[in-house]
Structure 1
């Protein structure tokens, strides 16, 4: 098998997500397996260059993981023809400017979500990429999780009959940073609206593509946000006021009359199998899915409880659910999408997770914040590259915090 190198500028890999999921478990894992098979006997071999502002950190990272190339000069990297792909996992507030520069340099761009801080800005980036003729993609990793893939298998096979509702629970307790030596396990900027923080901005982009691609397009929403923990301690031990939401309670109307509810919280203690848990109920059956597992209950196996609080519960409700088998091998979700994007760049295979998809995620977050501020339902207008959104204000996700 012949290997074809492809250079990738990786900006933002000193952060937790950029390092663990993108560099180590995706790009380096692809290199270790011998590249991405292209179907013609060749394999595409990623050749990353790590970029960051802190020379000490970026050099140490490169040495630790055996990456030959690193730099603190993003402009010089963008000018280098050896590297046709730019990847961005920097702070949300810095992403749009970095992406603009990469597009202007003619690079294909793949980046973390959210794509930008406003719907209008995300659409601008999508138009710039289209007009420059570069390929683009946004991370939509949860579509490639084993649990979601098993759930989609049930849907495609008609297991549910007519789907009625979707209920999602996501979150965990993020320590405040001031108790019993327990440092916060998320960075402090996540809790500052002025720095692009907030769980609505972070998670509604995920819920948009999960709902759109698994159950049906989102047509309307209502959202209530909260800052349950008003004060936290940052990485330097300093107290600060949390200005962003740490919990969000959203209801979504989907095409076909499906109702979806999602609770997202960094101030909840977990009493479920996984940090993300979805329950889908239909006329013929139900299923519950986590990150990796999925269990189903057909109507033939559904118990018939009767409300009676005066006697002990006679049912073991858990025993009526069956595990959906793997029926295959599941790889890391981030790695799977990276391989798809690399094939898209190299041999033009389809890749639906483009900047317009990223703009839809930003739109849902922006409308969620607006719904919370105005305490009302909002329609979700269709986005196209031909014009600006007709309802979303486009003034930025921070405008409603």
Structure 2
């Protein structure tokens, strides 16, 4: 059985550790490695890289990982290491990925692929010039609820799609009387924080893959909570946007409205929900579930403010059955990328796709700053299915 070295930078963070190291790379090895098309399996040899030798060493020891270092260059020089993965803070990503590309490694990164569109385009062009395989995490496409939503769309259930409405968010504690659930850098603009850069790339690939190309954006980004307390208990000014309210115009006339907030209390079934309305039916998808209502089963509500509503509208929707076992979405995409590297299997979630997500974030911030609708031009980069 062959073994492939995977340099993993930034896995001491929550997402890098739980989803990418523990539930993806180590889980793949626990099941006997990546299965290729001919039945052959390939094991992964993680090489952990981090800035703090103590943290990365403790993490490696906890899981019996032999190789760990604070020297990224040394890890990249090792010819046994075929893939570089980056889950660092956004502001540190571009420089490290350029270093990996220069070393001839195939590169797979968390989103956003970079902190600015210029940096994202430079990475996409560098990877293409170097001839290395490249990919960006687009995990929400692999959520069970979104996969069920895609099932409905592929079956023609909606007829002509009219609109998409999304709600995402939860209350992130300020850090004083309860500790925050997210690192403090998320709320500092100088460190690459902000919900627009964090979430608009997600909304871009969900909309693009399920409903059509984003052609224009109108957004309002705000900072609702202006002071927070960091991990050391020190107050700091939170000057990055913690909420964004966006309207996205899609090809074919579909209009999407998505609210994103770290300053909202949850009154919905899941932390993210998308409602899709079409001429023939509607559906509401979350992380795990998806409910639908066909036009033949649509009730006929009548507005009457004088009488209390006695109809339980949610009871009138059906649930899309599982019909399959849904794997961890991060792991599923890891396996797709590794097959892309090892046997040229298709992988549409490349740096060009990642750059389009960063572009939408930048244009959303521009729309907010200037108070206007902003068209989204096509990027001059190779992309799946010939899109730019």
Q: TM-score range by the shorter chain?
A: over 0.9
Task: State the shift of 1:69 in Å.
Answer: 1.2
The 1-side partners of 2:39 and 2:236 are apart by 56
TM-score, normalisation: structure 1: 0.94
The 1-side partners of 2:348 and 2:314 are apart by 37
Task: State the shift of 1:65 in Å.
Answer: 1.3
Contact kept in structure 2, 1:356 and 1:384, CA below 8 Å = no
Match of 1:116 among 95, 107, 114: 114
TM-score, normalisation: structure 2: 0.98
Unaligned runs of 5+ in 1: 387-401
Structure 1 residue aligned with 2:71: 73
The 1-side partners of 2:39 and 2:159 are apart by 42
Structure 1 residue aligned with 2:329: 333
RMSD: 0.8
Match of 2:293 among 285, 291, 297: 297
Contact kept in structure 2, 1:223 and 1:251, CA below 8 Å = yes
Structure 2 residue aligned with 1:92: 90
Structure 2 residue aligned with 1:353: 349
Contact kept in structure 2, 1:51 and 1:70, CA below 8 Å = yes
Task: State the shift of 1:39 in Å.
Answer: 2.1
Task: State the shift of 1:314 in Å.
Answer: 2.7
Counterpart of 1:84 in 2: which secondary structure?
strand
The 2-side partners of 1:91 and 1:384 are apart by 27
Contact kept in structure 2, 1:169 and 1:263, CA below 8 Å = yes
Structure 1 residue aligned with 2:221: 225
Q: How does 1:257-296 map to 2 (within 5 A)?
A: 257-296=253-292
1:312 aligns with 2:308: yes
Task: State the shift of 1:385 in Å.
Answer: 2.5
Counterpart of 2:182 in 1: which secondary structure?
coil
The 1-side partners of 2:227 and 2:323 are apart by 47
1:195 aligns with 2:191: yes
Structure 2 residue aligned with 1:175: 173
The 2-side partners of 1:188 and 1:129 are apart by 31
Structure 2 residue aligned with 1:42: 40
The 2-side partners of 1:5 and 1:293 are apart by 37
The 2-side partners of 1:233 and 1:248 are apart by 22
Q: How does 1:131-142 map to 2 (within 5 A)?
A: 131-142=129-140
Match of 1:156 among 154, 157, 163: 154
Deviations 1:279-307 (A, max 9, x none): 00001100000001000000111111110
The 2-side partners of 1:304 and 1:107 are apart by 59
The number of equivalent residue pairs is 382
Counterpart of 1:325 in 2: which secondary structure?
coil
The 1-side partners of 2:360 and 2:181 are apart by 26
Deviations 1:48-96 (A, max 9, x none): 0001111110110001112121111110011110101000001111100
The 2-side partners of 1:283 and 1:169 are apart by 22
Structure 2 residue aligned with 1:7: 5
Contact kept in structure 2, 1:138 and 1:358, CA below 8 Å = yes
Structure 2 residue aligned with 1:380: 376
Deviations 1:90-132 (A, max 9, x none): 1111100000000000000000011111112111111110011
Task: State the shift of 1:41 in Å.
Answer: 2.2
Structure 1 residue aligned with 2:236: 240
1:63 aligns with 2:61: yes
Counterpart of 1:39 in 2: which secondary structure?
coil
Structure 2 residue aligned with 1:101: 99
The 2-side partners of 1:125 and 1:311 are apart by 60
Structure 1 residue aligned with 2:386: none
Task: State the shift of 1:276 in Å.
Answer: 0.5
Counterpart of 1:153 in 2: which secondary structure?
helix
Unaligned runs of 5+ in 2: 383-388
